[in-house]
Amino acid sequence: MPEEILVPPAWFEPGAPPIEVDFGCHRGTFLLGMAEKYPGINFLGIEKQSARVEKCLGKIRRQGLGNALAVQGEGAAALVRWLPERSVSIVHVSFPDPWPKRRHASRRLVTRGFLEGIERALCPGGVLRLMTDDASYFSDMKALLRQGWAELPWEDGVERPVTAFEKTFLERGRRPCRCAVRPLSRR
């Protein structure tokens, strides 16, 4: 990346619009769809791969979306780097790499440390929305969420665009595993 992108400080000021995070925003389909549909909410995409961040930023510029931004980051460290405590209303994590081999499981995104970072970033009433096509990974996620998190209905009346991965799996006749949770400490 040629220069450091900074999240506008105004996004975190009292009275600013709510912030939703698309963690692992990939090429930005969901991020840009949400930003276009909900101009009164700020949307921050966090993506590991710099080339994808650049593509997202280009799309954001071309579409003139002042309420969207993509930054480079990975895992729990990105949460601490980019998000002040109690600053985010919703974190979306869709189709993180499942690393299905046991010897690679430590590379998974959703870990105890990641969930602690999410809990720190969520404002009171904040929600984490998880989606994956890997039933085994989902089972492991749910096990991590048993302590300190309350499950909420997935359907909350908000219309959201389908992610690129979700579209692929739905076209194959596969239904993703999904859950929405709230940390008990942020009720």
Catalytic positions, please? 97
Q: Which residues pair with 150 in a beta bridge?
A: 182
The answer for residues whose C-beta is within 8 angstroms of residue 172's C-beta and 6 or more apart is none
* Plot region of 96 (φ>0 → left; ψ -120 to 50 → alpha; else → beta): beta
**Burial of 26 per CB tally in 10 Å (0-12, 13-18, 19+):** buried
The answer for residues whose C-beta is within 8 angstroms of residue 147's C-beta and 6 or more apart is none
DSSP 117-176: HHHHHEEEEEEEEEEES-HHHHHHHHHHHTTTEEEE-S--S---PPPHHHHHHHHTTPPP
The answer for residues whose C-beta is within 8 angstroms of residue 116's C-beta and 6 or more apart is 76
